[in-house]
Amino acid sequence: MVQGGGVLFSFNPINNAFTSLVNLSPSLGEIPFGDLLLASNGLLYGMTADGGSNNDGVLFSYDIDANHYTIVINFNDTNGNLGDDGLVEDTANKVLYCMTEYGGKYNDGVIFSYNLVTGKDSVILNFNGANGANPYGTLLLVPYQSGDGVNEIKSTDENIKVYPNPAANFINIESSISSEKYFYLYDNMGRLVQSTKLESNLSTIPLGQLSAGMYYYRIVDNAQNVIRADKLLIIR
């Protein structure tokens, strides 16, 4: 094992079996940073803070079936330095997004994208101090529909009430609008976690095993026009 570089491993909770998959090193990228992302193409993606051809860290992929590790991006002073801790994927367009804490045009960090289909990476925002610097944390990917973000309130129509908020085990949706409606709930990564057709003017929707945290909801009509959108806090 390469001392100090870190390791990519698997753990089976049924039999407590630990397996070392990849011993990281200066050439492969070392000091892994943040969570792994299982992308829509079936590969795991992750980042390291150091190593790679420029010693500025790498974006890597790992094929679980083939046990194959690949460096996807070697970071440098131009495309970023010190990758942050949260990759997100726009699954519709098969593009990964993340931030780096340093690097870029002003060495204040960047937001970058990586296209899973074309293999092209791009800096889409250079932080410069005025617009922020040295970002830290995970990007929130908010789904868009007809140009409106899920966290934008399309309507504050008092004819639709969603309660309680915060909620624990269920929410009620009360409406005086008789037309067909649908309820969509998204997690803070922008993933759809629940969808329900609202069959009556008062619907009770169980929240099941959803984890505590901030969610975003949309209520749309039969033509998928947003008639209400807001945040929903789930507590446990």
Q: What is the pLDDT along the chain (236 residues), one digit of tens a residue?
A: 345 789 999 999 999 999 999 999 999 999 888 789 999 999 999 999 899 999 999 999 999 999 999 999 999 888 888 766 678 888 878 889 988 888 888 999 899 999 999 999 989 889 988 888 888 777 877 654 444 444 443 444 557 899 998 999 999 999 887 788 999 998 877 788 999 999 888 999 999 888 888 888 888 888 777 788 888 989 87
Q: Mind giving me the DSSP string for 79-114? A: TBEEE-S--EEETTTTEEEEEEEE-STTSS-EEEEE
Q: What is the pTM of this model?
A: 0.61
- Domains in the chain (CATH in brackets) are 7-126 (2.120.10.80), 144-234 (2.60.40.3080)
